Amino acid sequence: MSTTHYLVLSAILFCIGLYGVISRRNAVMVLLSIEIMLCSAGLNFACFSTIYNPSGQIFALFIIVVGAAEVACGLAIFFLSARLSETIDLDKFNLLKG
């Protein structure tokens, strides 16, 4: 196995996550797709840490922690907005539209 295999896999996962963020209308699905992108970034870091030094693994650890914190806050915001309005369609949240 070479680093190129892992990097290509990470690029594929990133692009799939990006497509999920673009095309999903439900806020929770968008959060799921962001998690896919975070996973691919962590895989990239861990792949390069085998060649250089363990800083890559430590950074992937921080990515995991920040991802978990972001999911908690995002779900709290989503929970509140779903309680206050009747719909969860992302297209309908357009109060700031010019």
Distance of alpha carbon 69 from alpha carbon 26, whole angstroms:
20
- Three-state DSSP at 89 gives strand
Which of 72, 68, 49 is closest to 59 using CA atoms?
49
Interface residues for other proteins in 69-88 (CB under 8 A)?
69-73, 75-80, 82-83, 87-88
Q: How far is the CB of 70 from other proteins (least distance, A)?
A: 8
Give yes or no for residue 34 binding other proteins (CB under 8 A): no
Give yes or no for residue 46 binding other proteins (CB under 8 A): yes
Site string for other proteins, 8-27 (x = CB under 8 A): xx-xxxxxxxxxx-xxxxx-
Q: Which residues pair with 89 in a beta bridge?
A: 26
Q: Which residue has the tokens 């539209």?
A: 97
Check: CB of residue 21 under 8 Å from CB of residue 37: yes
**Residues at the site binding other proteins, with contacts judged by CB under 8 A:** 1-9, 11-20, 22-26, 28-29, 31-33, 35-36, 39, 42-43, 46-47, 49-51, 54-55, 57-58, 60-62, 64-73, 75-80, 82-83, 87-89, 91
